[in-house]
Amino acid sequence: MTTTRACAARLPCPAPHTRHWPAVTTAALTATVTVMPGFTVGALAPALESGLGLSRSAIGLALSCFYAATALGSPIARRVAARFPVHRVLAAAALSAAAVMLGASQATGMISLTVLLLLGGLSNALVQPAVGRLIAARTPAHRRSLAAGVVGAALAAATFVPGLLVALVLPAHGWRVSLLTAGLVALLVTALAPLARAPLEPAGPTRTGGHPRTGRTLLLWSSAAALAATGNNAVATYFVHLGTDSGLSPTTAGHLLTASSVLAIAVRVAAGALTDRAPGRNPTVIAAMMCTGGFGLALIAAGTPVAFTVGALLAFSAGWGWTGLLLATALHLVTDQAEYAGHTVQVGIYTGATIAPFAFGAISGALGFTPTALVAATAAFAGAGAITAGAVHLRRSER
């Protein structure tokens, strides 16, 4: 009955017998490779600094350009995602990411690296709006948190390959071969795009917001995503730097980055599956995850190998495990504007990601990693507060 009423209201309705998991998995893998240029360059930052003669702040600025291009390009990407078939949007995004990393393997300086990352950020902007449309149209309502969790795991999975590259490829073959390998991985994902092909409901009008209460709530949640992503993205970007500063070897830090990525993927998928049973509690779960991430960042500030290991696991798993849940929650709030929901979450996450690399690199270069990690922890706690404020505002406006 619920599905029938939704279809009558012209909302996106998944076909009851449509196999949605191949499409969701394809979207998750595409989301992984499109954000990989930023994480790969971040993981290889020490080698890039010596190889290209760049400072930590210069690498941070180039990475901030990647994330800024994603955030600023999101409004246009939202319209593209609404106009073209999802599988074509995903294929174009994955192919662009592959080209960016293959090109970066031949970079000769700051300008070429930054231009390539800018282009990569623009293609990365295509993914979340397309994913929002895909999940709303093809995934049953009682599986949307799980589907969004699978796609949200892409941010964690995107650090998995760079971790392997730092641990296995970089020591023997250098940073250029490492980037070349990452580009080839992204190229393989392009071939999977046809799995996301399916008849979708006609995209709704690309409005910039719904009911005023919805718009204010989404604004608060987008701000929360920006705050929390600032700290967690900084850790993901400078993981190897932070690990070695805490007393770990670069190879050990690379292995730990890979292990943290696997744990983060598991947490995101498990959280999505569990919260599908009570989606109304998603904001509470998200706020708790952000607080846990803030605690992990505070541990990283201690600067010891044990504290870094425990803090990194917390920051990666729970502290960064909320992205898929936030997408599912936004989709539940604006079901008839799936591209807008994906766009709003994406803007928040990548605004924080834009601030993180350059700010973290500049502040840590001047003051050290300890006070910088504490600032990142404060941002995570502030994000939890903004999530809670948005949920409270929504409940009051519904009375």
What does the DSSP assignment read for 42-101? HHTHHHHHHHHT--HHHHHHHHHHHHHHHHHHHHHHHHHHHHS-HHHHHHHHHHHHHHHH
Convert the pLDDT of each residue in 276-322 to its tens digit. Answer: 777 678 899 999 999 999 999 999 888 889 999 999 888 888 887 88
Q: What is the DSSP string of 368-381?
A: -HHHHHHHHHHHHH
Count CB atoms within 10 A of the CB of residue 250: 18
Angle at 88 between CA 118 and CA 93, to 5 degrees: 20
Q: Does the pLDDT at position 134 exceed 60?
A: yes
Q: Does the pLDDT at position 185 exceed 60?
A: yes
**Whole-angstrom distance, CA of residue 291 vs CA of residue 387:** 11
- Give me the pLDDT at residue 13, please: 47
- Give me the pLDDT at residue 335, please: 66
What are the two backbone dihedrals, phi and then psi, of residue 55, each rounded to the nearest 5 degrees?
-90, 170
Mean pLDDT of the chain: 82
237 contacts 287 by C-beta, under 8 angstroms: no
205 band by pLDDT with thresholds 50, 70 and 90: very low
Q: Does the pLDDT at position 262 exceed 80?
A: yes
User: Percent of the chain beyond pLDDT 70?
Assistant: 89
Mean pLDDT confidence for 44-50: 88
Burial bucket for residue 158 (CB in 10 Å: 0-12, 13-18, 19+) = buried
Please state which of the ranges 129-143, 193-207, 327-341, 342-356 shows the lowest mean pLDDT: 193-207
8 band by pLDDT with thresholds 50, 70 and 90: very low
**Whole-angstrom distance, CA of residue 358 vs CA of residue 230:** 11
213 band by pLDDT with thresholds 50, 70 and 90: low
What are the two backbone dihedrals, phi and then psi, of residue 277, each rounded to the nearest 5 degrees?
-75, -25
Q: Which one of 3.40.190.80, 3.40.710.10, 3.90.1150.10, 1.20.1250.20 gives the CATH number of domain 19-197+209-398? A: 1.20.1250.20
**Whole-angstrom distance, CA of residue 180 vs CA of residue 165:** 10
Q: What is the CA radius of gyration of the chain?
A: 20
Q: Which among 349, 338, 325 is positioned nearest to 147, based on CA atoms?
A: 325
Choose from 331-345, 352-366, 376-390 the range with maximum mean pLDDT. 376-390
Mean pLDDT confidence for 364-370: 80
Convert the pLDDT of each residue in 54-83 to its tens digit. Answer: 887 788 888 889 988 988 888 888 888 778
**Whole-angstrom distance, CA of residue 57 vs CA of residue 75:** 28
Model confidence, pTM: 0.74
The amino acid at 66:
F
Count CB atoms within 10 A of the CB of residue 188: 12
Q: What three-state secondary structure class fits 197? A: coil
- Give me the pLDDT at residue 316, please: 80
154 contacts 32 by C-beta, under 8 angstroms: yes
Q: Does the pLDDT at position 9 exceed 50?
A: no
**Terminal C-alpha separation, the chain:** 25
Say which residue, 4 or 306, is predicted with more confidence: 306
Q: Which among 230, 172, 269 is positioned nearest to 372, based on CA atoms?
A: 230
Convert the pLDDT of each residue in 217-228 to its tens digit. Answer: 888 999 999 999
Convert the pLDDT of each residue in 110-133 to its tens digit. Answer: 999 999 999 999 999 998 888 878
- Give me the pLDDT at residue 105, please: 93
The amino acid at 82:
A
Which residues, at least 6 apart from 38, have a Cβ–Cβ distance to it below 8 Å? 63, 66, 67, 117, 120, 121, 124, 158, 237, 353, 357
Q: Does the pLDDT at position 28 exceed 50?
A: yes
Q: Does the pLDDT at position 198 exceed 60?
A: no
- Give me the pLDDT at residue 336, please: 65
- Give me the pLDDT at residue 16, please: 43
